[in-house]
Structure 1
Amino acid sequence: MIQTRHGSCHCGAVRLRHRPRARRPALAAAPPGRVVRLDPALQLLVLPQDPHWKSHVPAEAFRLLQGADHLSHYRFGEGAIDHAFCRTCGVYPFVGASEPAMGGDFYCVNVACLDEVSEDELAAAPIRYEDGARDDWGHAPRVTGYL
Structure 2
Amino acid sequence: MIRIHQGSCHCGAVRYEAELDLASGTGRCNCSICRKLRFWGAMARPETFRVLSGEDALTDYQFGTHSAHNLFCRHCGVHAFHRGYVEAVGGAYVAINVACLDDVSDEEWASAPVGYADGRANNWRETPAVTRYL
* Bucket of the pairwise TM-score, normalised by the shorter protein: 0.7 to 0.9
Higher mean C-alpha deviation, range 5-14 or range 130-139 = 130-139
- Give the direction of change, closer, same or farther, for the CA distance of 1:5–1:140 in structure 2 (3 Å limit): same
Question: Does 1:4 find its partner at 2:20?
Answer: no
Where in structure 2 are the equivalents of 1:60-71 lying within 5 Å?
A: 60-71=47-58
Q: CA deviation at 1:122?
A: 2.5
Q: TM-score, normalised by structure 2?
A: 0.84
- Count, aligned residues: 129
Q: CA deviation at 1:128?
A: 4.2
Q: CA deviation at 1:126?
A: 5.0
Question: Does 1:74 find its partner at 2:61?
Answer: yes
Query: Which residue of the other structure, out of 23, 41, 46, is the alignment partner of 1:39?
Result: 23
2:65 partner letter: E
Task: Compare the two structures and name the one with the higher helix fraction.
Answer: 2
Runs of 4+ in 1 over 6 A off after TM superposition: none
The answer (yes or no) to whether the contact 2:7–2:100 under 8 Å persists in 1 is: yes
- Give the direction of change, closer, same or farther, for the CA distance of 1:93–1:144 in structure 2 (3 Å limit): closer
Question: Does 1:101 find its partner at 2:88?
Answer: yes
Query: Which residue of the other structure, out of 86, 89, 99, is the alignment partner of 2:73?
Result: 86
Higher relative contact order (CA 8 A, sep 6+): 2
- Give the direction of change, closer, same or farther, for the CA distance of 1:128–1:84 in structure 2 (3 Å limit): closer
The answer (yes or no) to whether the contact 1:58–1:103 under 8 Å persists in 2 is: no
Alpha-carbon distance in 2 for matches of 1:63, 1:141 = 32
Any stretches of 5+ residues in structure 2 without a counterpart? Answer: none
Q: CA deviation at 1:99?
A: 2.1
Question: Does 1:112 find its partner at 2:96?
Answer: no
2:6 partner letter: H
Q: CA deviation at 1:136?
A: 1.6
Alpha-carbon distance in 2 for matches of 1:46, 1:145 = 11
RMSD: 2.0
